[in-house]
Every structure is written in C-alpha cells, then in structure tokens.
Amino acid sequence: MELVPRYAVAVTHTLVELERAFRVSWSAETTCLDAGSLTRWHPDNAAHGQCGPTALVVQDLLGGDLLVADVSGGDEDDEVHYWNRFPGGLEIDLTREQFTDHRIIGEPRVVVRPPGGPRAYVNEYHRLRASVLSILNL
C-alpha cells in the first residue's frame, strides 16, 4: 500500500518508510508518559508511551479514525492506547509492541479529535510531527 500524504506535495511513501520515520523519531521527548512513568521509557522499548502522539501524526498524514481503548492486566496501572483505523477496516498500530503479553487491550472506540489539535502533550506531539515530516521530506 502506498501512502499519499494529505499535503499538497507530489510524494508517496510506503508503510515501511512511514514506520521507519516514526521509529527514528521516538524519544523520551516525544512520549506522553507522565514524570513518574518516564523513567520506564528506554530505547529498547522506544514505542512505550508513544501511542498518542504517533496516532495523531498518522492521522495528520493519512486521515482515518483515531481509536482509543483501555489497557489493563498484570501488575501495571490501567492506561489507554491509541491507534488508527481507515476505510475498509485497515488498522495501523505502530506502538502495540510496547505492551507485554499479560496486558489486555479492550474494545476500541473512535475519538473525535479537537479542532484546535491535541490538548495534552502538545509539545511532544509537535516534536514528533516535526521529526517525522522532516525525515519524509514533507
């Protein structure tokens, strides 16, 4: 599947290229973990805490629905997880690997994005977006 950015740029990218741009861009500065949980972020699990900003930037590039689901199970605190769904049922979740097998991701629900952009972790979203767009030359 080729990706055609929503920007007025005559460039196409593959899903592999898109995923690579995110993986190179993830850092402690792009995660949506709170200060107490930030110590659990490390490059060996770079997807940890990246789901919100990542799903928003994927939606910026490709449109589609923003999904959220509750995550529970194991010894960890309950949390939420974000990813994307597109027409025809195709789902893209670049950060699911952050969860161990004992974590249970509940049924997703569609989230309507606020017209002014994200309200939480705005700086992290902008950092990730700028890096991904730069890598993709957009």
* Pairwise CA distance, residues 72 & 102, whole Å: 9
Taking a C-beta distance cutoff of 8 angstroms, is the pair 136, 18 a contact?
Answer: yes
* Pairwise CA distance, residues 136 & 22, whole Å: 10
Alpha-helical runs (H) found in 2-111? 15-25, 51-62
Q: State how beta strands 91-92 and 79-85 pair.
A: antiparallel
- The predicted model scores a pTM of 0.87
Report pLDDT digits (tens) over 22-81: 999 999 999 988 877 777 788 888 999 999 999 999 999 988 999 999 998 867 777 889
